[in-house]
Structures are given as C-alpha cells and as structure tokens.
C-alpha cells in the first residue's frame, strides 16, 4: 500500500514538472534551439512579417484626406492643398462671401486623435510643412536612429494643388 | 523500480509526441501566414486605387476652377469651348505610392450642372493586377 502511494506521488511530481516544462519553459528553450540550429521558431516568423501593418497608415491617411471639416464643409485633402499652396498651415479661406480662419494643425490633430488615439503621427506635405511630431520618420541630425525606429507604419499619396501641380503627402505612425 | 521505469518511459514518449505534433503545427502555421500576405497585398493595391480616385476628384475640381479662370468666366456658357479647355488642363495622375497606379481619362461630359468624367484606374504592380473604371462627378458651380 505504501509502495503504491509513493509511486502515485512520484508520478504526480513528474506530471507537474512535465507540464511546467512544456507550457512555461519550452517556449524559451526554442530560443536555444534557434541559436543552435540557426532556424527561427515559427512564432517569431509570424511576428516579424506584419504585412497588414502598413494598411493601418493607408487607411488612416485615406480617412483623414477624405474626411470633412465641419466649419467649412470642405475635405481635409482640399484644405491641405490650399495650405500647401500658401506654404502655411494657417490661412484665411474665402468662400461664397464668407471668410474662414483655418488652423489646419488643429483640424488634422483632432481627426488623428479620433482615428488613432494611442499613436504618435507625422503628416508631411513634401517641401511644404509637417503636422504632428515633426521628427517622426524624418532624419534629424541627432537621435536619428531612435526616431526612425519609432515608425511602425507609413503611407504616402498625391494631392493636387489649386495650380494643378502635385505634391506628395506622407503619414508616419509611431 | 518497475513502476518508475514505466513512468520515465511515458514521460519521454510524451515529449516525443509533443515535438512531433509541434513540428506538424509549425508547418500549418506557415501556410496560414502566406495566405494573409496575399490578402494584405490585395488590400494595398485597392488602397492605392482608392487614393488615386480621391486625388482625381480633387484634380477635377481644381481643373474646373482653373479652366474658368483661363476663360475668364463665372458660369459656363459655351459647353464645347469649356470642355476643350478643360481637357487641356485636366491631366490626372497618381504617384508617390508604393503601388503604381495609371490613370486614363475615357471621357468627360457635362451632365446638367455636373461634370462627369469616366476614368479607368489600373495597377501595374508586379504582385497584383487590378483595374477599376468609374464615373467621377463634380459640380460645375
């Protein structure tokens, strides 16, 4: 009787240790396997191939450009075009005898906070201006690597200005 | 001692089974990843075409305004003259995206108080071909 109890107890201990190894330790041992074999565990492959992540920036940029400013009734894309033409994010828009004081930084910021509340962003109109964290995705002289590393996703498109010239608009998300 | 030997054999056998099952599941998971990549690529092409459509709508609006300036008119009188000048001004294109999208204007017509452009958008991307023909409408006034 005593022998059976000891055997059962030993079996219990072995089962607990085995379960512990499989569920808690084995995933870490995979890193050792990777070091020895040179082949990364499959779970890491899934993490480092995030093909859908660029879509976050694509969809955010599209939503931003096509969204409408409540004050003027114009799309953000059109306001960006006027701002790019003036090379300034603050300008006066005259429409049907009315004048609107446009602060594009404020408009874009409120929409981006709604679209991506937990993300840092930088909206760049090439050679004109940027809105948001101006260093994100750019190459400043200092802490360059740090700012580039912060970029999780990016997107770019074309906007047409009132003089029918075209400029690039880029969105960096960090 | 016989009981302990069986437990030890069972323990080793369980580990072997775990490794075999894990390696099989690994191959299955790799297959799933390649499918999601294909879907993501398709989305990127669709996104690029939608960006082009959005830009062309803006392009058309500013082309109308520019044409009015060129002709020094506020309202459109001679439709043929207006369309001729508009076609000279309206050169939609889309660049700066990772996916190349070509824009082809099939026709431009005045329909009542609107200008209607029939436009084909085509992706010439290596990894996915896509084509979309649509009407883009813009008020003339």
* Chain B interface disruption, residue of A58, A84, A156, A169, most B CBs within 10 A: A58
Distance of alpha carbon B121 from alpha carbon A17, whole angstroms? 62
ipTM higher than the 0.85 cut: no
Residue B86 domain flag? yes
User: Whose CA is closest to B67, among B82, B54, B55?
Assistant: B82
Would you kindly state where each structural domain of chain A is located, as residue ranges?
Answer: 2-48, 53-173
- Cβ of A157 and B55 within 8 Å? yes
Looking at the 3D structure of chain B, how many domains does it have?
1
- Which tokens hold the place of A105? 């930084």
Residue B32 lies in a domain: no
Domain-embedded: residue B3? no
Residue B54: inside a domain: yes
Does residue A49 have a pLDDT over 60?
no
Q: What is the mean pLDDT of residues A40-44?
A: 56
SS3 content of chain A, % helix, strand, coil (to 5): 50, 20, 30
Mean pLDDT calculated for residue range A81-94: 93
Within a domain: residue B20? no
Best B8, B9, B23, B51 residue to mutate vs chain A (most A CBs within 10 Å):
B51
CB atoms within 10 A of CB A88: 13
Cβ-defined contact of A55 to B98 (cutoff 8 Å) = no
Answer yes or no: is B84 within a domain: yes
Q: Which residue of A has its CA nearest to B48?
A: A157
Q: A121-139, pLDDT tens digit by residue?
A: 999 999 999 999 888 887 6
With a cut of 70, list the residues of chain B below it in pLDDT. 1-3, 26-37, 126-127
**Taking the model in full, what pTM does it have?**
0.70
Question: What does the pLDDT read at residue A48?
Answer: 44
> From CA B121, how far away is CA B93, in angstroms rounded?
10
B96: nearest CB among A55, A78, A158 = A158
Domain ranges, residue B133: 41-139
């Amino acid at each position: 009787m005593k022998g059976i109890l000891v055997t059962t107890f030993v079996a219990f201990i072995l089962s607990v240790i085995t379960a512990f190894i499989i569920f808690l330790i084995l995933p870490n041992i995979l890193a050792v396997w990777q070091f020895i074999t040179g082949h990364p565990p499959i779970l890491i492959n899934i993490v480092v191939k995030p093909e859908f992540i660029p879509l976050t920036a694509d969809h955010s940029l599209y939503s931003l450009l096509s969204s409408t400013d409540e004050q003027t009734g114009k799309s953000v894309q059109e306001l960006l075009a006027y701002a790019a033409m003036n090379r300034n994010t603050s300008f006066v828009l005259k429409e049907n005898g009315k004048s609107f004081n446009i602060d594009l930084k404020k408009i874009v910021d409120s929409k981006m906070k709604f679209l991506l509340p937990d993300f840092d962003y930088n909206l760049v109109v090439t050679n004109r201006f940027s809105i948001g964290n101006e260093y994100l995705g750019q190459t400043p002289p200092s802490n360059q690597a740090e700012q580039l590393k912060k970029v999780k996703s990016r997107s770019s498109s074309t906007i047409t200005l009132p003089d029918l010239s075209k400029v690039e608009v880029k969105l960096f998300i960090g | 001692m016989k009981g302990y030997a069986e437990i030890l054999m069972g323990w080793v056998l369980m580990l072997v089974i775990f490794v075999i099952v894990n390696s099989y599941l690994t191959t299955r998971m790799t297959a799933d990843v390649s499918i999601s990549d294909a879907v993501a690529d398709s989305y990127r092409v669709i996104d690029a075409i939608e960006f082009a459509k959005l830009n062309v709508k803006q392009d058309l609006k500013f082309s109308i305004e520019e044409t009015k300036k060129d002709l020094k008119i506020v309202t459109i009188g001679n439709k043929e003259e207006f369309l001729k000048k508009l076609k000279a001004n309206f050169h939609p294109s889309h660049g700066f995206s990772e996916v190349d999208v070509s824009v082809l204007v099939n026709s431009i017509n005045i329909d009542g108080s609107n200008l209607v452009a029939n436009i084909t958008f085509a992706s010439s991307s290596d990894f996915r071909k896509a084509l979309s023909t649509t009407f883009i409408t813009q008020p003339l006034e």
